[in-house]
Amino acid sequence: EAQVTQNPRYLITVTGKKLTVTCSQNMNHEYMSWYRQDPGLGLRQIYYSMNVEVTDKGDVPEGYKVSRKEKRNFPLILESPSPNQTSLYFCASRATTLGELFFGEGSRLTVL
């Protein structure tokens, strides 16, 4: 089954404690991206990757890091989380030439 898998689905953490949200896709997609969703603000892009070892900033990259060492994985790293990073996070992927983005189920992060 074609899917994007992200973990954890839910996480409560404290300010400053480093965390990683993993994302993996099994569709051999070149393009992967991370979004955060906050009420009334839609989906805002954090980082995206066009292929292995190629990453670019989206609209809200501050406080986040990513890496793309393998085609299937695109982890999101919060080195020192802060309460303003409390949000719902989505990982997504697509084939470069197509317009359909496949989303993971989301990771709800709370930073206290």
Residues lying near other proteins in the complex (CB under 8 A) are found at 31, 33, 35, 40-45, 48, 50, 56, 58-59, 90, 92, 94, 98-106
Q: Which is nearer to other proteins, 17 or 98 (CB)?
A: 98
C-beta pairs of 56-64 under 8 Å, 24+ apart in sequence: 58/33, 58/34, 60/36, 64/34
Q: How far is the CB of 104 from other proteins (least distance, A)?
A: 7
Q: Is 84 helix (H, G, I), strand (E, B) or coil?
A: helix
| Complete DSSP assignment for 5-72 | EEE-SEEEE-TT--EEEEEEESS--SEEEEEEEETTTEEEEEEEEEETTEEEE-S--TT-EE--SSSS
Q: Which is nearer to other proteins, 63 or 106 (CB)?
A: 106
Q: Which is nearer to other proteins, 3 or 80 (CB)?
A: 3
Q: How far is the CB of 60 from other proteins (least distance, A)?
A: 12
Q: How far is the CB of 17 from other proteins (least distance, A)?
A: 26
Q: Which is nearer to other proteins, 61 or 63 (CB)?
A: 61
Q: How far is the CB of 61 from other proteins (least distance, A)?
A: 12
